[in-house]
Amino acid sequence: MKKCISYWTLGGFEGEVPVVEAAQAAHDLGFDAIELCYGAGELVPEATPETLAEIRRACEAIGIALPSLCSGNYWSVSLCSEDETERQAAIEFTKAYIACAAALGADTVLVLPGTVEVPWNPERPIVPAKRAWELAQQSLTELIPVAESHGVVMALENVWSKFLTGPFEFAAFVDALSSPWVKCYFDVGNVAINGYPEHWIEILEDRIARVHVKGFKGRDGGGTMADFTESHFDSSINWTAVLAALRAIGYDSYLTAELIVSVNGLPDKALAEKAAKELTELITM
C-alpha cells in the first residue's frame, strides 16, 4: 500500500495554498501521492486546460502521484436532490469534475451518491431514503458514459448522510449500477460511529477502489464531528484488524489520510507530517 494525503490538510478547505506548493510539501514529507480537492481554489469548473496541464506537469516533475480527486461540493448540490435544477447542477458539476481528473491523470473521483440529510445544515431538505436511492441511481446512470469516456472511476463514499448506512446496502447500491466505472471510496473513520470498518471491508471486497483513513473516538453508541481526531491512533478503530481485512481482499492501493480536524485550523503542515509517520506505521503493521 502507498501513502497519500488529502490536499485539505496541507492546503485548506478553500484552496488557500497553491496546488503545486501543497504537492511539493506532501512529497517533502514522504507521501507517495496527494489527493487534490475540486470545487475551490485553482481546481474549479472554470479552470482552463492549460492550467490543469501545467499542474500535472509540475506534479510529475516533483515526483508525486495524483491518484484521485475529492470534493465537498455534494453537501450543497446533491445528485439525489428532489429539486431537478439542483440535481442537474450536480450532474454537470460531476461531468466537469471527471474531466478535470482525467486532465490531471487521476483515475478516480470521490462522489457522494446522495444525502438523505446533511446533519450540520438544517436548512438542507430531508430526502426520503427510497427517493434518494432512485434519484441517485438515475444521476449516476447518466454519468457512467462520461466516466467511461474519460477512464475515471466514480468511487462512492460512505458518509454521515443517513444514506447507504450499512455495508450490505452500500454493496447492493453499487451492484445495481452494474458498471466497472462505479465503485466504493471506503472511509474507515466514517464507519466507526455505527460499525466496524473491518466488517465493511470483508463485505465490500473488490468494490473498494480507494480508502480514506482518519481517527475517530466512538462513545455511547455514537459520536459527533468533534470525535474525529488529529491522530489515527487516538481512536477506537482496531487498525490491526482493518489492515488485515484490506490485505485479505487484496487491496494494495493508496491509504489517503483525510485529517480534517486540527486545533491550529487548516492548513496544518505539522498535522500532515504526523500523518505521514502514522501511515508508515499502519502500512507496516
Average pLDDT over residues 10-32: 97
Amino acid residing at 249: I
- Can you tell me the distance from the alpha carbon of 63 to that of 100, in angstroms, rounded to the nearest whole number? 20
Average pLDDT over residues 96-117: 98
Average pLDDT over residues 220-246: 94
Cα distances (Å, whole numbers) of residue 260 to 28, 73, 189:
20, 16, 11
Confidence of residue 221 (pLDDT cuts 50, 70, 90): confident
Average pLDDT over residues 132-145: 98
Q: Cα–Cα–Cα angle for 59, 61, 63, nearest 5°?
A: 70
Confidence of residue 220 (pLDDT cuts 50, 70, 90): confident
| Averaged pLDDT of the chain | 97
What pLDDT shows up at residue 261?
A: 87
Average pLDDT over residues 98-103: 98
Residue 222 has pLDDT above 90, yes or no: no
Residue 109 has pLDDT above 90, yes or no: yes
Average pLDDT over residues 109-121: 97
Q: Kindly list the structural domains of the chain, giving each domain's residue range(s) and its CATH number in brackets, ordered by start.
A: 2-283 (3.20.20.150)
Instruction: Return the closest-CA partner of residue 97 out of 153, 19, 16, 157.
Output: 153
- Can you tell me the distance from the alpha carbon of 110 to that of 258, in angstroms, rounded to the nearest whole number? 12
Cα distances (Å, whole numbers) of residue 183 to 3, 111, 261:
20, 10, 27
Q: What is the DSSP letter of 65?
A: B
What's the pTM?
Answer: 0.97
